[in-house]
Amino acid sequence: DQQVKQNSPSLSVQEGRISILNCDYTNSMFDYFLWYKKYPAEGPTFLISISSIKDKNEDGRFTVFLNKSAKHLSLHIVPSQPGDSAVYFCAASVNSGYALNFGKGTSLLVTP
Amino acid sequence: DAGVIQSPRHEVTEMGQEVTLRCKPISGHDYLFWYRQTMMRGLELLIYFNNNVPIDDSGMPEDRFSAKMPNASFSTLKIQPSEPRDSAVYFCASSPRGARANYGYTFGSGTRLTVV
């Protein structure tokens, strides 16, 4: 069963606008969350992370928000750029574990 | 550092043949992970090692799949016999502290396996 869910397979946004990618999780034991970005023919690369003790983490144009009560996190990209076009994976881990659970990914297309 | 190196990049094989995928982790990383990516299931964990010892292989789909890590710089994932449903992209990743590293894992570029 999928413990990390990304319900939107794809998203299209105009350059300069905000991109919002969503992720839901079912396991209340998850305490660390990450976003990865993947270009075609490459492996996923780390983008940004957040611990469950925070509700927001920001890194340049990228901000991740965590709503623990709703078991929901989101990635905001502002402003969106064509180079941001990629597949974005949400991932989560449990404090006592060492493996990441990934969602299926959301394909973001930023159009000029 | 050259990053996580996987070989081959692409593999096309006939059903029933043995397939071996290879991975060289980043030097000094104690954790090595094998993931498989498919459209249906996304990125799913197959197995991971800590200090060359398999820790959790519950994600290995069947006995046809086996993984080894004979030393800190090399791991293999073997499928014998291969089936068309094994067609997927297989990723190897390594990490100095498993998922507890702030950046999680470093992934290789993957091996695209096609079984015909």
Question: pLDDT tens digits, residue range B42-72?
Answer: 899 999 999 999 999 999 988 999 999 999 9
pLDDT band at A1 (very low <50, low <70, confident <90, very high): confident
Using a CB-CB cut-off of 8 Å, the residues of chain B touching A2 are: 42
Please tell me the predicted confidence (pLDDT) of residue A78: 98
Using a CB-CB cut-off of 8 Å, the residues of chain A touching B48 are: 98-99
Which residue in the set B4, B91, B99 is minimally distant from A97, CB to CB? Answer: B99
pLDDT band at B39 (very low <50, low <70, confident <90, very high): confident
Q: How many residue pairs bridge chain A and chain B with CB atoms within 8 Å of each other? A: 67
Per-residue pLDDT tens over the stretch B2-22: 899 999 999 999 999 999 999
Contact criterion met (CB < 8 Å) for A91 and B104: yes
Please tell me the predicted confidence (pLDDT) of residue B102: 57
The per-residue pLDDT of chain B, averaged, comes to 92
- Cβ–Cβ < 8 Å for A79, A16: yes
Q: Are strands A4-5 and A10-14 parallel, antiparallel or unpaired?
A: unpaired
Residue A48 has pLDDT above 60, yes or no: yes
Per-residue pLDDT tens over the stretch A50-76: 989 999 999 999 999 999 999 999 999
Contact criterion met (CB < 8 Å) for B104 and A103: no
| C-alpha to C-alpha distance for A88 and A110, rounded to whole angstroms | 13
Which one of B37, B40, B46, B106 would you mutate to disrupt binding with A, by most A Cβ within 10 Å of its Cβ? B37
Residue A84 has pLDDT above 70, yes or no: yes
Indicate the burial class of A5 (C-beta count within 10 angstroms; 0-12, 13-18, 19 or more): middle
Please tell me the predicted confidence (pLDDT) of residue A50: 92
Please tell me the predicted confidence (pLDDT) of residue B52: 95
| C-alpha to C-alpha distance for B79 and B114, rounded to whole angstroms | 12
Buried b (16+ CB within 10 A) or exposed e, B22-39: bbbbbeebbbbbbbbbee
Which residue in the set A43, A49, A103 is minimally distant from B42, CB to CB? Answer: A103
